[in-house]
Chain A
Amino acid sequence: MEDLITPKSEKEAIEMLNRYNEDLLPRKFGIAGKLWVTVLCIVIAIGLYNYIQQLRFGLKVTGLNDTVSWGIYISNFVFFVAVSLVGSLITAVLNLLNVNWRAPLTRISEVIAVSAIMFAGLIIIVDMGRPDRILNMFLHGRIQSPIVWDVIVVMTYMTISLLLLYFSLLPNIAFCRDRLPNIPKWQRKMYSVLSFGWENKPEQYEIIKRAVKILSVLIIPVALSIHTVTSWLFATTYRPGWDSTNFGAYFVAGAFMVGAAAVIAGMSILRKFYVHYDEYLTDKHFDRMGRLLVLLSFIYLYFTVNEYFIPGYKMKGDEAEHLRELFTGHYAPMFWSVQIFGMFIPIIVLLFKKGRKPLPIFIMAVFVIIGAWFKRYLIVIPTMLHPFLPLQQIPEASKHYAPTLAEWSITGASLAGALLVITLFVRYFPVISIWEIAEERGIHSDTIYEHLNEKV
């Protein structure tokens, strides 16, 4: 960034590095952190209990029925896949474009991506009627089925995301291994295993940088695929509301938007709870991310208009019933709240420089994230309630869908689980890459490697 102070002498550079170490090495949680972890664990425990009930008694513990056979597990899955797209956006796109303010953001976004895609995989297993037969996917998998495509791309994306996260993390793990004072034995052992005997050699850094570059290129098509293929789970059916050629691009645009919002929220929380983080996650970073979010929101607005305005103009028979429910019917309050709070207000606020200050942008990011979750609810559920044939000769319960408490708690547990993974990562690993920050701020790489190699 323009106002970065590049070190004038070697001594100054060393001083800067020492400060980075002090600021960015992971440290123990305070009261707030511990409380947060406890709350997450309780939510997860309640969800696990309910999932065990679901395994015992079947999916009848949910509000699902023969009409709405996909509910919030599936919409939550789509949400997770959407959020996970952010890893590729920040790391790969900004890296390939050589954007010079990305260093403090890359790892945050990669961690969000990895935990989101992990829980996307888990929640889809939760939705299965027979999770005990999951191996059938591999024994009898058929390439005609979009679910098989989804399994392939999600697993590929998870692998590439993990590698992308891990490669740039390696020097930092080694650094924790060598430098963190007063840590329990198991923790040092963990660092030592995970660092794979890293030695801070310049050649090793060269390999890492090359690998990250290659992965950054590879991950873009895979990232676009995960969300495109996820949209095809719906678009390959005949149902009004899903039968849309716009769906792939629409989903990808929405995913970029919620992903950028997730990174902003992550940045805000880190900055709030860690002293000196405001020196790394500066107002300028929030301003830039705000601009990016506005751009992405406009792209999403464009696809949203295509998705609803054109069918709404024609009001084609079966489609009309579905659209009326969204525009003026049962789902209208949710539909318009999502559009207004999840898109229009954030766009307007973030257009102004004052709106891109850390606090307002955090609030807008939270709006976008919550809006995005309910947006996916609106994509999945109302369509299921409008099949071609009338809802007749079915029990009254099958004419509506209301998620049960068990279903909410399992879904909540998956969200809490993803947050817990991110939280524990922040607890044990530097979430802002020390060596990348140093490089971005113009410290010569030889000085960095030398400094990192010093044993204490």
Chain B
Amino acid sequence: MSQKSDDKEKLEGDHSGRRDFLKFGFLAAGLTVVGGGLQKVFSDNKDSAKVESGNKVKVLTTDGKLVEVDSSHLKAHECCGASPTDSREGIPGKKYVMVIDLSRCKNALKCQKACQKHHLLPEQDKWLKVFKMQDSPEASPYWMPKPCLHCDKPPCVKVCPVDATFKRSDGLVLIDNERCIGCRFCMAACPYSTRTFNWEEPQQPANILEMSYSPETSVPRKKGTVEKCDFCPDMLKQGNLPHCVSACPNGVYYFGDANEDTVCNGDETVRFKQLLRDKAGYRYMEGLGTEPSVYYLPAANRLFPFEDAEEVKEK
């Protein structure tokens, strides 16, 4: 009897394993092929997911076969956030890094807009800020975009009393807002002014409120807890770039995997270490010893002249 049920379980396990694998293959491969353009179409199809849309899409499976599926099957990509427990595991074999080329930034703020939109952030909470920096009075000012630096020795994680914010094997620092007690010690400890707090009940659409919470999507947002840039793990899981990277019109952000030694800014894919070597990459306030995963390339030989829109307006 027990032998039988074991077998049955095994069978089911195998089956669902294969199904998951296929689904993931479809999603991951499919979306890289299809690209961002169709994304909107799929998400609009959310409610009629079970109805065949008749809209066939070609996708590439993980073993290299091109297959045609109904677009409604691809709907699942929206809810890629794992449970709070599963979110603590990083994506296997990955070590995510970002390189920000300051010489290309002209404060277009497309990155910020994309970030605000996809994380449903209100005007006052900005996970990604673009600072106007000037290192010394004689030096020229420059723009410095700053997401969470996802430190390898994160001071925020060190001080959290309840292990609500954690460091994953793939380098991401995330927050479990079903555990956060709102003491805000992490905000005091972060030297980079990265974290924001939900001082009141966040306003969010009803369909978001229905979703089950995941530290990987950071929604639904919760009152009395701390939030910050999460490097969009839901996008990374699908093999996509974080929203800020793909939104940037000037290729400021390179994002990739240090283990593979490649980073991509949407236009070009380059060797991560080579890029740092060639362009004198550095990390912001290296002296603090927090070992950020975000590197900067100096604001030398700039693509754009420095122009402060607000100052221009004032003139």
Question: Given the complex, which residues of B lie within 8 Å of A398, measured CB to CB?
Answer: 124
* CB atoms of A239 and B188 under 8 A apart: yes
Question: Given the complex, which residues of B lie within 8 Å of A127, measured CB to CB?
Answer: 183
Question: Given the complex, which residues of B lie within 8 Å of A144, measured CB to CB?
Answer: 158-159
Bound-state Cα–Cα, A218 to B261, Å = 57
When the two chains form the complex, which single residue of B130, B193, B198 contacts A387, counting CB atoms closer than 8 Å? Answer: B193
B155 at interface (Cβ–Cβ under 8 A)? yes
Question: Given the complex, which residues of B lie within 8 Å of A379, measured CB to CB?
Answer: none
Q: Closest B residue to A145 by CB, please name it.
A: B161
Question: Given the complex, which residues of A lie within 8 Å of B161, measured CB to CB?
Answer: 137, 141-142, 145, 147-148, 151
When the two chains form the complex, which single residue of B163, B191, B195, B224 contacts A130, counting CB atoms closer than 8 Å? Answer: B224
B131 at interface (Cβ–Cβ under 8 A)? yes
Bound-state Cα–Cα, A403 to B179, Å = 28
| Proximity bits, B175-217, A CB within 8 Å = 1, else 0 | 0000111111101110111011111110000000000000000
B160 at interface (Cβ–Cβ under 8 A)? yes
When the two chains form the complex, which single residue of B132, B162, B183 contacts A392, counting CB atoms closer than 8 Å? Answer: B132
Q: A58-B223, A389-B193 are in contact. Are A128 and B158 (CB under 8 A)?
A: no
Q: List A residues 9-62 near B (Cβ within 8 Å).
A: 57-60
A275 at interface (Cβ–Cβ under 8 A)? no
* CB atoms of A136 and B162 under 8 A apart: yes
Q: Closest B residue to A384 by CB, please name it.
A: B188
Bound-state Cα–Cα, A233 to B189, Å = 9
Question: Given the complex, which residues of B lie within 8 Å of A390, measured CB to CB?
Answer: 131-133
| Proximity bits, B95-131, A CB within 8 Å = 1, else 0 | 0000000000000000000000000000111100111
Q: Closest A residue to B132 by CB, please name it.
A: A392
Interface of A is mostly: loop
Question: Given the complex, which residues of A lie within 8 Å of B193, measured CB to CB?
Answer: 66-67, 387-389
* CB atoms of A129 and B158 under 8 A apart: no
Q: Closest B residue to A387 by CB, please name it.
A: B193
Q: Which interface class (under 10, 10 to 19, 20 to 34, 35 or more) fits A?
A: 35 or more
Bound-state Cα–Cα, A144 to B180, Å = 16
* CB atoms of A236 and B159 under 8 A apart: yes
| Proximity bits, A235-273, B CB within 8 Å = 1, else 0 | 011110000000000000000000000000000000000
Question: Given the complex, which residues of A lie within 8 Å of B201, measured CB to CB?
Answer: 57-58
A69 at interface (Cβ–Cβ under 8 A)? yes
Q: How many A-B residue pairs have CB under 8 A?
A: 136
B225 at interface (Cβ–Cβ under 8 A)? yes
When the two chains form the complex, which single residue of B130, B146, B160, B223 contacts A145, counting CB atoms closer than 8 Å? Answer: B160
B288 at interface (Cβ–Cβ under 8 A)? yes
B303 at interface (Cβ–Cβ under 8 A)? no
A116 at interface (Cβ–Cβ under 8 A)? no
* CB atoms of B181 and A130 under 8 A apart: yes
A205 at interface (Cβ–Cβ under 8 A)? no
Q: A128-B181, A136-B179, A147-B183 are in contact. Are A69 and B224 (CB under 8 A)?
A: no
When the two chains form the complex, which single residue of A59, A139, A142 contacts B160, counting CB atoms closer than 8 Å? Answer: A142
Q: List A residues 142-165 near B (Cβ within 8 Å).
A: 142, 144-148, 151
CB proximity of A53 to chain B, nearest CB, Å: 12
Question: Given the complex, which residues of A lie within 8 Å of B182, measured CB to CB?
Answer: 59, 128-130, 133
* CB atoms of A236 and B189 under 8 A apart: yes
When the two chains form the complex, which single residue of B124, B131, B189 contacts A395, counting CB atoms closer than 8 Å? Answer: B124
Question: Given the complex, which residues of A lie within 8 Å of B124, measured CB to CB?
Answer: 66, 394-395, 398
CB proximity of B177 to chain A, nearest CB, Å: 9
Q: A65-B199, A142-B163, A237-B189 are in contact. Are A129 and B184 (CB under 8 A)?
A: yes
Bound-state Cα–Cα, A144 to B185, Å = 13
Bound-state Cα–Cα, A70 to B223, Å = 17
Q: A129-B197, A392-B132 are in contact. Are A238 and B158 (CB under 8 A)?
A: no
Q: A129-B183, A389-B192 are in contact. Are A238 and B288 (CB under 8 A)?
A: yes
B285 at interface (Cβ–Cβ under 8 A)? yes
Bound-state Cα–Cα, A100 to B137, Å = 65
* CB atoms of B199 and A388 under 8 A apart: no
A310 at interface (Cβ–Cβ under 8 A)? no
Q: List B residues 156-171 near A (Cβ within 8 Å).
A: 158-164
CB proximity of A435 to chain B, nearest CB, Å: 43
Bound-state Cα–Cα, A67 to B192, Å = 11
A456 at interface (Cβ–Cβ under 8 A)? no
Bound-state Cα–Cα, A128 to B181, Å = 7
Bound-state Cα–Cα, A59 to B182, Å = 10
A348 at interface (Cβ–Cβ under 8 A)? no
Q: A140-B163, A239-B191 are in contact. Are A129 and B180 (CB under 8 A)?
A: yes
Q: Closest A residue to B285 by CB, please name it.
A: A388
Q: Closest A residue to B288 by CB, please name it.
A: A238
* CB atoms of B199 and A59 under 8 A apart: yes
When the two chains form the complex, which single residue of B133, B146, B224 contacts A59, counting CB atoms closer than 8 Å? Answer: B224
A134 at interface (Cβ–Cβ under 8 A)? yes
CB proximity of B19 to chain A, nearest CB, Å: 34
Q: Closest A residue to B194 by CB, please name it.
A: A389
Bound-state Cα–Cα, A131 to B124, Å = 24
* A/B interface sample: 15 pairs, CB < 8 A: A58-B198, A66-B195, A134-B181, A142-B163, A144-B159, A145-B159, A145-B160, A237-B188, A238-B155, A238-B189, A389-B146, A393-B129, A393-B131, A394-B124, A395-B123
Complex A-B, nearest 6 residue pairs according to Cβ-Cβ distance, in ascending order: A129-B182, A129-B224, A147-B161, A60-B199, A145-B161, A60-B200
| Apart from the given pairs A137-B181, A144-B159, 16 other A-B contacts in the complex at a CB distance below 8 Å | A57-B201, A58-B198, A59-B182, A129-B183, A129-B224, A140-B164, A140-B179, A151-B161, A237-B189, A238-B155, A238-B189, A239-B188, A387-B193, A388-B193, A393-B129, A395-B124
B interface, CB within 8 angstroms of A: 123-126, 129-133, 146, 155, 158-164, 179-185, 187-189, 191-193, 195-201, 223-226, 285, 288
